[in-house]
Amino acid sequence: MIIKQDTELKRTAVTMEGAASVTMGIPIGEDDGSQNMIMRLFRIAPGGHTPYHTHDYEHLVRVVSGRGAVLDAQGVSHELSLGQSVFVCSNEKHQFLNPYTEAFEFTCTILNPNRG
Amino acid sequence: MIIKQDTELKRTAVTMEGAASVTMGIPIGEDDGSQNMIMRLFRIAPGGHTPYHTHDYEHLVRVVSGRGAVLDAQGVSHELSLGQSVFVCSNEKHQFLNPYTEAFEFTCTILNPNRG
> A16-111 is classed in which CATH architecture?
Sandwich (2.60)
To the nearest whole Å, the CA of B84 is away from the closest chain A CA by 4
pTM of the entire predicted model:
0.97
8 Å CB contact of A3 and B85: yes
Scanning every residue of chain B, which has its alpha carbon at the shortest distance from the alpha carbon of A105? B83
Mean pLDDT across A26-47: 97
Residues in B touching A70 (Cβ below 8 Å)? 1, 3
Residue B55 contacts residue B90 (beta carbons within 8 Å): yes
What is the pLDDT confidence band of residue B108, given thresholds at 50, 70 and 90? very high
Q: Report pLDDT digits (tens) over A68-87.
A: 999 999 999 999 999 999 99
- Cβ of A35 under 8 Å from any chain B Cβ? yes
CA A21 to chain centre: 13
Domain locations in chain A as residue ranges? 16-111
Q: How many CB atoms lie within 10 A of CB A71?
A: 18
8 Å CB contact of A1 and B88: yes
Would the pLDDT of A99 be above 90? yes
Q: What CATH homologous superfamily does B18-111 map to?
A: Jelly Rolls (2.60.120.10)
> Residue A29: how many CA atoms within 13 Å on its side-chain side?
13
- Cβ of B3 under 8 Å from any chain A Cβ? yes
What's the CA dihedral at B104, A79, A91, A112 to 10 degrees? -30
Q: Report pLDDT digits (tens) over B84-106.
A: 999 999 999 999 999 999 999 99
